[in-house]
């Protein structure tokens, strides 16, 4: 039995003739130059501010903020420090960005796939949607939705009520659960159900490749997640207490609420970005060779199976990179929410800047927040892009 000869260990060439060595050296020099320029700018700015008697530093974050925040996921008081106000601003920004990305992906994908519908009316409506929403500036769309909510929704005294749900100029108010440990158990059950759904999908995919028998790839995973959440909820004592909203003299008190500002930002950004995502999906599907569609039809696959099993998996390699750009744009465009009074991180920073005069520090915090969220989004989408790449043999 012949034994393949072992390859000699590769040695790194640290001479100038090595392209890898020169590339590494250039990268190190570039990092040093950028770091030096950044240090020079920071040092020069701090020195000029000191000479002019302008206070600098981030010590103001520990001082009382002295202002209220109209919308937050946690309680905030004007006596709380600035750092807590910034955290609430960041959470409001992330709430819009994460929910907006999910809704944008769903809506944009449906519109993009609808461009290939055999129904002419559906194709026309999808194309009209894309041309309408992507050609109107996003700031105008945010203002339009905000004005619609504040002008046409009824006053609080005349709020529309359906059971324990209220709709008025104060927003959409609904019963909110009283947080207990049982809800944490339910969340853990949902996470466990998500892991189980992922394992099931992998098993179903492997069986499909072995036998050609197609199992449910959507409803069964959804049921697994729901069952996991219910089991966790029961294991945590099945808490079922809710805070019910009550109509007051000047406001709807209690419960949870979606304010007009939040709804305007979310709907405006979702509809605007989804029009671009739809074009990305359409271009990705069109990049797949027509023979793939003909082969799917020859195998007897339905239109939905053809799109799900043949076209979209191959189109992902074209869709994901520009889709990442649209997710980043949605997150950064959320900064326009300051125009309609939504208390995101930009709005909180502007208020802190006006009260403390720490312009450089507040702007640096805004830059750090958006830089961090953008990098994390890019890293996740890069991982997903590598995972979805077509594996060649």
Tokens 């406001």 locate to 251
State the DSSP string of 218-258: SHHHHHHHHHHHHHHHHHTT----EE--EE-SSSEESSEEE
Is the CB of residue 254 less than 8 Å from the CB of residue 245?
yes
Number of H helices, E strands in the chain: 12, 8
pLDDT tens, position by position, for the chain (393 residues)? 455 555 555 555 677 778 888 888 889 999 999 999 988 888 887 778 777 777 777 888 989 988 888 888 888 888 899 999 999 999 999 999 999 999 999 999 999 999 988 888 999 999 999 999 999 999 999 999 999 998 888 888 888 888 888 888 888 888 888 888 888 898 999 999 999 999 998 898 888 878 877 778 788 899 999 999 999 989 888 888 888 888 877 788 888 888 999 999 999 999 999 999 999 999 988 888 888 888 888 888 777 778 877 888 888 888 999 999 999 999 999 999 999 989 999 999 999 999 988 888 899 999 999 999 999 999 999 888 888 776 655
**Six-digit token pair at 180?**
């207990």
- Helix (H) / strand (E) element for 199: namely helix 181-211
If you ran DSSP here, which 8-state letter would residue 5 be given? P
As a whole number of angstroms, the distance between CA 56 and CA 355 comes to: 14
Residue length of the chain: 393
Q: Report which secondary-structure segment, H or E, holds 95.
A: helix 82-114
Q: Is the pTM for the entire model greater than 0.75? A: yes
- Cβ proximity of 250 and 80 under 8 Å: no
Q: Which CATH superfamily is domain 82-178+241-379 in?
A: MetI-like (1.10.3720.10)
Q: What are phi and psi of 10, to 5 degrees?
A: -75, 140
Here the tokens at position 317 are: 């390699």
Q: What are phi and psi of 167, to 5 degrees?
A: -130, 120
Helices 359-388 and 82-114 cross at an angle (nearest 10°) of: 40
């Amino acid at each position: 039995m012949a034994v393949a000869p072992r390859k000699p260990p590769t040695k790194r060439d640290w001479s100038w003739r090595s392209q890898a060595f020169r590339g590494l050296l250039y990268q190190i020099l570039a990092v040093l130059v950028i770091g030096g320029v950044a240090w020079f700018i920071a040092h020069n700015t701090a020195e000029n501010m000191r000479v002019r008697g302008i206070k600098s530093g981030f010590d103001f974050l520990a001082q009382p903020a002295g202002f209220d925040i109209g919308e937050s996921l946690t309680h905030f008081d004007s006596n709380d420090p600035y750092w807590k106000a910034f955290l609430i601003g960041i959470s409001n920004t992330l709430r819009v960005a994460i929910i907006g990305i999910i809704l944008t992906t769903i809506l944009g994908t449906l519109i993009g796939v609808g461009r290939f519908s055999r129904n002419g009316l559906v194709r026309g409506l999808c194309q009209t949607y894309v041309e309408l929403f992507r050609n109107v500036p996003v700031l105008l769309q945010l203002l339009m939705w905000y004005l619609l909510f504040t002008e046409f929704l009824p006053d609080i005294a005349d709020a529309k009520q359906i059971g324990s749900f209220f709709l008025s100029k104060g927003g959409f108010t609904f019963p909110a659960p009283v947080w207990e440990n049982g809800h944490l158990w339910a969340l853990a059950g949902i996470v466990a159900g998500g892991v189980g759904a992922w394992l099931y999908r992998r098993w179903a995919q492997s069986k499909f490749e072995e036998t050609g028998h197609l199992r449910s790839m959507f409803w069964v995973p959804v049921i697994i997640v729901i069952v996991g959440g219910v089991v966790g909820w029961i294991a945590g004592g099945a808490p079922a207490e809710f805070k019910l909203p009550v109509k007051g003299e000047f406001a709807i008190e209690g419960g949870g609420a979606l304010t007009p500002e939040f709804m305007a930002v979310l709907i405006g950004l979702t509809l605007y970005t989804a029009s671009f995502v739809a074009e990305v999906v359409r271009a990705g599907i069109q990049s797949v060779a027509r023979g793939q569609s003909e082969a799917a039809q020859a195998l007897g696959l339905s239109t939905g199976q053809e799109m799900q099993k043949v076209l979209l998996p191959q189109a992902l390699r074209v869709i994901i990179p520009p889709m990442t750009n649209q997710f980043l744009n949605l997150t950064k465009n959320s900064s326009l929410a300051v125009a309609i009074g939504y208390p995101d991180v930009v709005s909180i920073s502007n208020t802190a800047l006006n009260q403390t005069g720490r312009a450089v520090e507040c702007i640096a915090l805004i830059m750090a927040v958006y830089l961090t969220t953008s990098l994390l989004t890019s890293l996740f989408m890069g991982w997903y892009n590598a995972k979805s790449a077509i594996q060649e043999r």
